[in-house]
Amino acid sequence: MPQVRIKICGITTPEDARLAADCGADAVGLNFYPKSSRYIDPRQAAALVRALPPFTAPVGVFVGMPLRQVCSVAYQLGLRGVQTYDENPPNEDTFPFAHLASFRIKDASGLDLIRQFIAAARRTGRPPTAVLVDSHVEGQMGGTGHLAPWELLAGFDPGVPLILAGGLTPENVAEAIAVVRPWGVDVASGVESSPGIKDQDLMLRFVQTVRQAADLLPL
């Protein structure tokens, strides 16, 4: 059976980091975008990374920060991956950090942009490790609770693993998996009691639902 990986994003406390891992998350997202309600200062993030068990990957979320600085923060904190929002392919190699290139999609032109991004990145030998597709909400970079266009993404193969984000909850993630068939899913607001504060029951239900939905996918 195919496995669908799970990233719980917008973790703001060591306690929630450990809870997310205990609930079965494969990765947790630490948001370093100052305009986000889930923002954490990189200087405070070490405690969150320390709280994680060895097989739960910490991923940093960055917006508008030069890639060299992104990798510097990732190195200092021991992150496993970096998630960026940038329409231009990376001008530097992110290795040894996995690179999640993130896109906010509202129509088919967004899929063309992803294809162009990956083609250009391949030409420089720096394709992203995965592509994360989020919903497009003007002026906001993720965590909005708005759904990404699932039907548009059905059958979309960017040539690298596809991670689906945007408005996912324990109630709708099974349908999203059935329609999009993503490599992974990313959730923030859908497992919160308030912005940046995770709900253990919602996280556990989300993970269990993803695992059950993945069991139903054809090989």
- Residue 17 tokens read as 């980091």
Strand partners, 84: 62, 101
Question: Which residues are catalytic, by number?
Answer: 9, 134
Computed from CA positions of residues 5, 180, 163, 209, in that sequence, does the dihedral angle turn out positive or negative? negative
- Is there a contact between 52 and 26 (Cβ–Cβ < 8 Å)? no
CA distance 30 to 8: 9
Higher pLDDT, 22 or 142: 22
What DSSP assignment string belongs to 18-35?
HHHHHHT-SEEEEE--TT
In the chain the domains, ranked by start, together with CATH numbers, are 5-213 (3.20.20.70)
Q: Which residue has the tokens 């891992």?
A: 21
Per-residue confidence at 2, pLDDT binned at 50, 70, 90? confident
Residues 66-107 pLDDT 10s:
999 999 999 999 999 999 998 888 989 999 999 999 999 989
Residue 4 pLDDT exceeds 70 = yes
E-only strand ranges, the chain: 5-9, 27-31, 57-63, 81-85, 98-105, 130-135, 162-164, 184-187, 192-194, 197-198
Residue 141 pLDDT exceeds 60 = no
| Residue type for position 41 | D
Q: For residue 140, what pLDDT is reported?
A: 53
CA distance 70 to 10: 17
Per-residue confidence at 58, pLDDT binned at 50, 70, 90? very high
Q: For residue 168, what pLDDT is reported?
A: 97
114: left (phi over 0), alpha (psi -120 to 50) or beta: alpha
Q: What is this structure's pTM? A: 0.94
Q: For residue 28, what pLDDT is reported?
A: 98
| Residue type for position 8 | I
Strand partners, 162: 131
Residue 1 pLDDT exceeds 60 = no
